[in-house]
């Protein structure tokens, strides 16, 4: 659950005034691989800096290179399959979305390559490790054998460990099946490693995330992908992040229908007093976007900030229906005659919660 304490929290009448400085964050361009032959994990060597890196090489357009934060791979909903019996990929009847190792019309043909690595610099083979996963499901990489066998090289269903890797010879090129156990937005982290000829230690690339959109995306995932198409930094894209610095986390901006890249106070809730049946109550007013279908907004109240249990408030005082959103006012169930101090919070819950990253096992 994501929580943000409102500036209006405090005893009745308390108000914190905040000076505003309007800022806007530029949106980066992003290339979408929808049906190209792309070597998503293309190992690159920079002799000047003696560094390895992983980039995406668009083989259909002259080998144009994209950094991982410049591209996204789309897996269409048509590539959703149901697993048969007797596979190592899951239980019979389980769904799996597959980017296949063989060319398939209208689908990205995703490969692994060390074709741009110079000869005579590294020993064979190079290794590409799976190091992390952010997404709503699990991630698998395998090759299908000629007799129907399965060579699974990466599988997050049992965590991420030293067994999750593939190898590629210098100058080599290979294709695999890339599988996802549910739809959604995934970021998969890899590292390349190799030993230079005549050296005694390995050279390792930076951990590099690549983004997959396995369709259909959930509402919050689509919102994230629209605002930051290729971004992978969690301090920008995470539900609890606040990239524009306006004290409204992304989840609140999403729920309110505001721009997470532009400083404003429109996602804040507003405290007021309301009168019902001759009694005065504290209340919070907030915007709720109609398109935020996987977000739940909840107002809670307590008599002190250290109260062990905050009371969920359900008394709807007013609802104003707008074109794209609703404006709700939720009042307290405890009147000002019954308590001298009351505190309020607006909480936003994403259902399901934002993707969590799986870490390698020690």
Per residue of the chain (362 residues), what is the pLDDT tens digit?
A: 232 222 223 333 322 222 333 333 444 579 999 999 999 999 999 999 999 999 999 999 889 999 999 999 999 999 999 999 999 999 999 999 999 999 999 999 999 999 999 999 999 999 999 999 999 999 999 999 777 789 999 999 999 999 999 999 999 999 999 999 999 999 999 999 999 999 999 999 999 999 999 999 999 999 999 999 999 898 999 999 999 999 999 999 999 999 999 999 888 999 999 999 999 999 999 999 999 999 999 999 999 988 888 999 999 999 999 999 999 999 999 999 998 899 999 999 998 644 333 444 43
Helix, strand, coil content of the chain in percent (nearest 5) = 10, 45, 45
Fold of 2-24+263-350: Immunoglobulin-like (2.60.40)
Question: What CA–CA distance (Å, rounded) separates 191 from 160?
Answer: 13
Domain ranges in the chain?
A: 2-24+263-350, 31-230
Strands, E assignment, 47-204: 51-58, 64-66, 71-75, 80-82, 95-99, 109-113, 126-135, 139-144, 150-155, 165-168, 173-175, 177-180, 184-195, 202-204
pTM of the entire predicted model: 0.84
Condensed to tens digits (0 to 9), the pLDDT of residues 219-268 reads 999 999 999 999 989 899 999 999 999 999 999 999 999 999 999 988 89
Condensed to tens digits (0 to 9), the pLDDT of residues 60-85 reads 988 999 999 999 999 999 999 999 99
């Amino acid at each position: 659950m994501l929580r943000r304490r409102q500036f209006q929290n405090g005893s009745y009448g308390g108000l914190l005034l905040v000076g505003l400085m309007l800022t806007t964050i530029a949106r980066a361009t992003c290339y979408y691989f929808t049906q190209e032959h792309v070597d998503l994990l293309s190992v690159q060597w920079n002799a000047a800096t003696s560094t390895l890196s992983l980039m995406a090489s668009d083989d259909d357009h002259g080998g144009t290179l994209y950094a991982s934060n410049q591209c996204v791979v789309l897996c269409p909903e048509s590539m959703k399959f149901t697993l048969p019996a007797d596979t190592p990929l899951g239980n019979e009847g389980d769904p799996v979305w597959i980017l296949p190792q063989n060319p398939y019309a209208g689908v990205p043909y995703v490969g692994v390559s060390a074709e741009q690595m110079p000869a005579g610099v590294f020993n064979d083979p190079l290794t590409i490790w799976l190091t992390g996963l952010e997404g709503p499901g699990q991630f698998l990489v395998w090759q299908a054998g000629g007799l129907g066998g399965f060579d699974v090289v990466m599988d997050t269903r049992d965590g991420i460990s030293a067994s999750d890797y593939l190898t590629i010879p210098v100058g080599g090129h290979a294709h695999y099946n890339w599988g996802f156990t549910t739809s959604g937005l995934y970021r998969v982290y890899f590292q390349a490693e190799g030993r230079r000829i005549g050296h005694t230690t390995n050279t390792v690339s930076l951990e590099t995330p690549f983004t997959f959109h396995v369709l259909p995306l959930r509402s919050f995932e689509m919102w994230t992908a629209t605002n930051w198409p290729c971004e992978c930094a969690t301090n920008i894209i995470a539900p609890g992040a606040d990239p524009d610095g306006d004290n409204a986390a992304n989840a609140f901006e999403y729920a309110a229908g505001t721009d997470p890249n532009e400083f404003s106070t429109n996602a804040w809730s507003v405290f007021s007093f309301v009168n019902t049946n001759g009694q005065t109550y504290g209340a919070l007013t907030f915007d709720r976007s109609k398109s935020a279908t996987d977000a739940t907004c909840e107002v809670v109240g307590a008599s002190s900030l250290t109260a062990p249990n905050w009371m969920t408030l359900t008394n709807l005082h007013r609802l104003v229906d707008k074109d794209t959103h609703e404006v709700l006012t939720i009042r307290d169930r405890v009147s000002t005659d019954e308590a001298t101090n009351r505190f309020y919070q607006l909480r936003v819950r994403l259902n399901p919660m934002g993707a969590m990253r799986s870490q390698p096992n020690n």
